C-alpha cells in the first residue's frame, strides 16, 4: 500500500533505545500467536514425545549457537554473550525435569506442556521489580517460541527473509529476530512493547540500528507500504513526514554525526571539569562479558557490578569457587582501576533455583537484598569469601545494597569480619584492606547518613530506588510513571544529605543510578559534590564530555538556586538551562 503525499503527518511517541535516524517504507508485522493445541496421548506415546522434545532442544541449541557465531563475527563476542541466557533456558535441568514430570502426569502433547511450564517461568520473572531482570522474561518467551516452532516443524518467520530495504514495525521483536534480521535491509525498527533494558534494545545499539520501543499501538495504526521516519534519539516514529520535517531531520543527522566523531576522541581523556576537579567516571555492568566495553568507552573501572546473574536461570546455587573465579577475572581485566561488587540483591520477588521460595504481599519492601543475606548466612558468606579472595588483586571494593540503618550495616560488616577471620585461619590469601561501602537507596539511610559514614569507606547512591521509595512511585507502573521525578525537591535534599555527610567524615560519595547518566542532571550532581558517577558503558563518552564542559562553581550555583525552588518542573528547567548553555548538541 502506498501513501498519498497529501496525507497528514502523524507522530507516535515511545522510548528511544538506539540512536540514529532512518527513513523508508514500513513493513508491519502483526503479533504471531503460536497455536499450540492440547491433545491427549497414551502412556505408550510418552517415549516418542520425549524424543521429539529432546530433538527440538538440540535443534534450538544449535540455532542459538549459530546466532551467537553470526553476532560474534558481525559485532563482537561481547554482544554475542546476550544469547548465553537463551542457552541456559534450553539447558536448564529444573525446567526440563518439570516438563518430563508434567508430561507423564498430564498425558498430553509435549509442545503444550513445555509452553505451559516455560510460561510459568516467564510470568515469575516478569513480576520482578528490576527492569533488567524483568526483561529476561522476554528471553524465556523468545526461546519458548523457538522450541515450539521446532517441535511443530515450522519455518523461520517470513519477515526475516525480506529482500528490500524497509523499516520494521512489530508488536515485539525478540533478540533472536534482531540477530537474524538482515542488517542491510532493516533500516530501523519500532515496536509496541519493549524497554531500554531489553536485550533487543541492547542489540539494536550494538548493531547501530535506529530503534524506538514502547509505542503501544503503532501496529494497529500503520500498514505495510507507509512512508515513515524513525527518530532513535527522541523516541519518535513519524508517519508521512512533511518536507519541513525531513529537512529538520537531515540537519539533525548531520549534527549528530559531527558529535559522534568528536566523542570517539574522548576515550583517553580524563573526566575533569573546566576548573580542574577530577570526577571518577565508572561503568555499570550486568555480566562478565560486559567488561570489554568498560575500557573501550574510556571508563575508570566498574562502579556497580551486579551479581544476581550468578544465581538466576540455574538449578543449583553458585559455589564459592565459581564466584571467586568470576570476580577475579573481572577485577584483573579492569586493573588498576577499581571494581565495586554489589552483594547480591535477591529475595522476595527474585528467588533463584536452590533457594526456598516464600510469598510476600509486597516483596519490593520485603525480605530482599541485605535483609535476605542476613537471614541466609551460608549463601551470604559464600559470596563474601569469594569476593575477599578475589580482592587480593588489590583493586576490588565491596558494597552492601538496601541498607536502611546502622544496625543492619554493622551486622553486614560483622559477617564480613567473620569471613576474614575464617580465611585467615585457613591461610587463604585475601585483600585485608578491601574498601567497604553502603548503597544509599532507602530514604532512612539518607536521613542517617552521618552515622553510616563513620562505618564505611564510601557511599554509592542508587537513585532509581531512592527516588521511587521517597516519592512512593513504582517506576515501572505506566499509570503513574509521570510522578517519577528525579528533579523533585525532596530527592535533591536527600542527595545533599548523603553527599554532605560523606564529606564531613572524609569518605567519597558517588551515584550509580540512572540519574548519573541523565545529561541534564549531571550539573546538579556535580554541584552537590558527588565524587564519582557510574553509568552504562555506552554513556561514558557523553557524560565525560558533559563533565569536561562544566565548572564546579557554576554547578554549585545551580544547586543553591534549585534549593530555593519548590517544584520538579522549576528545578528541571534550571538544569536544562545549564545543559543547553554548555552542551546543547548532546541534548538537542
User: What DSSP designation does 157 have?
Assistant: P
**What pLDDT is stored for residue 348 in this prediction?**
44
- Alpha-carbon span 159 to 178, nearest angstrom: 11
Of 406, 403, 489, 475, the C-alpha closest to 440 is 403
Beta strand 227-231 pairing with 21-29: antiparallel
User: What DSSP designation does 362 have?
Assistant: -
SS3 of 570, please?
Answer: helix
Q: Which residue has the cell 527522541?
A: 234
**Quick one: CATH architecture of 10-32+157-242?**
3-Layer(bba) Sandwich (3.50)
For the CA atoms of 96, 101, 107, 109, what is the dihedral angle to 10 degrees?
0
- Alpha-carbon span 488 to 562, nearest angstrom: 10
Beta strand 532-536 pairing with 396-400: unpaired
36 grid coordinates: 499450540
227 Cβ contact list (under 8 Å, min separation 6): 3, 23, 24, 25, 26, 239, 240, 241
Characterize 445-481 residue by residue with b for buried, 16 or more Cβ atoms within 10 angstroms of its Cβ, and e for exposed: bbebbeebbebbbbbbbbbbbbbbbbbebebeeeeee
**What pLDDT is stored for residue 4 in this prediction?**
47
118 grid coordinates: 516455560
| Contact status, residue 27 vs residue 259, Cβ threshold 8 Å | no
**What pLDDT is stored for residue 350 in this prediction?**
43
User: What DSSP designation does 483 have?
Assistant: G
**Which residues are registered as beta bridge partners of 166?**
186
**What pLDDT is stored for residue 117 in this prediction?**
87
**What pLDDT is stored for residue 546 in this prediction?**
96
Neighbours of 112 (CB within 10 A): 18
SS3 sequence of 49-87: HHHHHHHHHHHHHHHHHHHHHHHHHHHCHHHHHHHHHHH
- Alpha-carbon span 411 to 20, nearest angstrom: 49
The list of the chain residues with pLDDT below 70 reads: 1-6, 30-35, 70-85, 127-136, 155-161, 175-176, 179-180, 196-199, 202-203, 206, 312-315, 346-364, 475-479, 481, 588
**What pLDDT is stored for residue 516 in this prediction?**
94
**What pLDDT is stored for residue 95 in this prediction?**
83
**What pLDDT is stored for residue 124 in this prediction?**
76
Q: Which residue has the cell 559464600?
A: 382
323 grid coordinates: 564466584
Q: Where are the domains of the chain?
A: 10-32+157-242, 43-152, 278-550
**What pLDDT is stored for residue 132 in this prediction?**
60
Q: What is the pLDDT of residues 98-117, one digit of tens each?
A: 899 999 889 999 888 988 88
- Count CA within 13 A, CB hemisphere, residue 352: 21
Q: Is the backbone of residue 183 left (phi > 0), alpha (psi -120 to 50) or beta?
A: alpha
95 grid coordinates: 525446567
Backbone φ and ψ of 358, nearest 5°:
-150, 155
* Segment holding 150, helix H or strand E: helix 131-152
For the CA atoms of 486, 489, 495, 500, what is the dihedral angle to 10 degrees?
160
Of 520, 514, 515, 540, the C-alpha closest to 580 is 520
Of 67, 64, 119, the C-alpha closest to 87 is 64
**What pLDDT is stored for residue 352 in this prediction?**
46
Enter the CATH code of domain 43-152.
Answer: 1.10.274.10
SS3 of 400, please?
Answer: strand
**What pLDDT is stored for residue 1 in this prediction?**
40
**What pLDDT is stored for residue 195 in this prediction?**
72
* pTM: predicted TM-score of the whole model, two decimal places: 0.69
**Quick one: CATH architecture of 278-550?**
Alpha-Beta Barrel (3.20)
With the C-alpha atoms ordered 465, 233, 136, 316, is the resulting torsion angle positive or negative? negative
**What pLDDT is stored for residue 35 in this prediction?**
66
Q: What is the pLDDT of residues 355-409, one digit of tens each?
A: 454 555 566 677 778 998 999 899 999 999 999 999 999 999 999 999 999 999 9
Backbone φ and ψ of 499, nearest 5°:
-65, -45
Catalytically annotated residues: 199, 512
Amino acid at each position: 500500500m502506498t501513501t498519498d503525499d497529501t496525507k497528514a503527518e502523524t507522530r507516535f511517541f515511545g522510548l528511544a533505545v538506539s540512536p540514529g535516524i532512518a527513513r523508508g517504507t514500513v513493513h508491519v508485522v502483526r503479533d504471531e500467536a503460536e497455536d499450540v493445541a492440547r491433545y491427549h496421548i497414551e502412556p505408550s506415546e510418552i517415549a516418542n514425545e520425549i524424543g521429539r522434545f529432546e530433538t527440538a532442544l538440540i535443534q534450538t541449541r544449535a540455532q542459538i549457537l549459530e546466532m551467537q557465531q553470526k553476532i560474534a563475527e558481525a559485532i563482537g563476542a561481547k554482544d554475542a554473550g546476550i544469547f548465553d541466557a537463551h542457552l541456559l533456558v534450553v539447558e536448564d535441568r529444573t525446567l526440563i525435569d518439570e516438563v518430563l514430570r508434567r508430561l507423564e502426569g498430564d498425558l498430553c502433547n509435549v509442545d503444550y506442556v513445555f509452553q505451559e511450564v516455560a510460561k510459568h517461568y516467564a510470568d515469575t520473572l516478569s513480576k520482578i521489580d528490576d527492569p533488567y531482570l524483568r526483561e529476561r522474561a522476554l528471553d524465556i518467551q523468545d526461546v519458548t517460541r523457538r522450541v515450539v516452532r521446532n517441535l511443530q516443524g515450522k519455518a523461520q518467520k517470513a519477515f526475516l527473509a525480506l529482500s528490500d530495504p524497509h523499516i520494521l514495525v512489530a508488536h515485539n521483536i525478540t533478540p533472536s529476530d534482531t540477530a537474524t534480521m538482515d542488517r542491510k535491509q532493516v533500516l530501523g525498527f519500532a515496536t509496541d512493547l519493549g524497554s531500554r533494558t531489553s536485550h533487543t534494545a541492547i542489540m539494536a545499539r550494538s548493531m547501530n540500528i535506529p530503534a524506538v520501543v514502547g509505542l503501544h499501538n503503532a501496529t494497529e495504526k500503520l500498514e505495510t507500504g507507509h512512508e515513515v521516519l524513525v527518530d532513535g534519539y527522541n523516541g519518535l516514529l513519524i508517519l508521512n513526514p512533511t518536507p519541513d520535517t525531513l529537512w529538520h531531520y537531515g540537519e539533525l543527522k548531520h549534527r549528530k554525526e559531527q558529535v559522534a566523531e568528536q566523542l570517539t576522541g574522548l576515550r583517553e581523556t580524563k573526566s575533569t571539569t573546566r576548573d580542574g576537579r577530577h570526577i571518577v567516571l565508572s561503568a555499570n555492568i550486568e555480566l562478565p562479558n560486559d567488561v570489554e566495553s568498560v575500557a573501550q568507552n574510556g571508563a575508570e573501572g566498574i562502579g556497580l557490578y551486579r551479581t544476581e546473574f550468578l544465581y538466576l536461570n540455574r538449578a543449583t546455587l553458585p559455589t564459592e569457587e565459581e564466584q571467586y573465579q568470576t570476580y577475579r577475572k573481572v577485577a584483573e581485566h579492569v586493573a588498576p582501576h577499581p571494581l565495586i561488587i554489589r552483594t547480591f540483591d535477591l529475595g522476595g520477588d527474585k528467588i533463584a533455583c536452590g533457594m526456598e521460595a516464600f510469598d510476600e504481599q509486597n516483596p519490593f519492601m520485603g525480605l530482599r537484598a541485605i535483609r535476605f543475606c542476613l537471614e541466609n548466612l551460608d549463601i551470604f558468606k559464600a559470596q563474601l569469601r569469594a569476593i575477599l579472595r578475589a580482592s587480593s588483586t588489590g583493586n576490588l571494593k565491596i558494597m552492601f545494597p538496601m541498607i536502611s540503618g546502622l544496625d543492619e550495616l554493622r551486622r553486614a560488616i560483622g559477617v564480613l569480619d567473620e569471613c576474614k577471620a575464617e580465611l585467615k585461619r585457613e591461610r587463604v590469601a585475601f585483600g585485608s584492606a578491601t574498601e567497604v561501602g553502603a548503597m544509599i537507596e532507602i530514604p532512612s539511610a539518607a536521613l542517617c547518613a552521618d552515622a553510616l559514614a563513620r562505618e564505611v569507606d564510601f557511599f554509592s547512591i542508587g537513585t532509581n530506588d531512592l527516588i521511587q521509595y521517597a516519592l512512593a512511585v513504582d517506576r515501572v507502573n505506566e499509570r503513574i510513571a509521570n510522578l517519577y521525578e528525579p528533579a523533585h525537591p525532596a530527592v535533591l535534599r536527600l542527595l545533599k544529605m548523603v553527599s554532605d555527610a560523606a564529606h564531613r567524615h572524609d569518605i567519597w560519595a558517588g551515584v550509580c543510578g540512572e540519574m548519573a547518566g541523565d545529561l541534564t542532571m549531571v550539573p546538579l550532581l556535580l554541584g552537590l559534590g558527588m565524587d564519582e558517577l557510574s553509568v552504562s558503558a555506552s554513556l561514558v563518552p557523553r557524560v565525560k564530555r558533559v563533565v569536561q564542559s562544566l565548572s564546579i562553581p557554576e554547578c554549585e550555583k545551580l544547586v543553591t538556586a534549585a534549593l530555593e525552588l519548590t517544584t520538579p518542573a522549576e528545578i528541571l528547567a534550571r538544569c536544562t538551562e545549564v545543559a543547553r548553555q554548555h552542551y546543547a548538541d548532546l541534548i538537542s
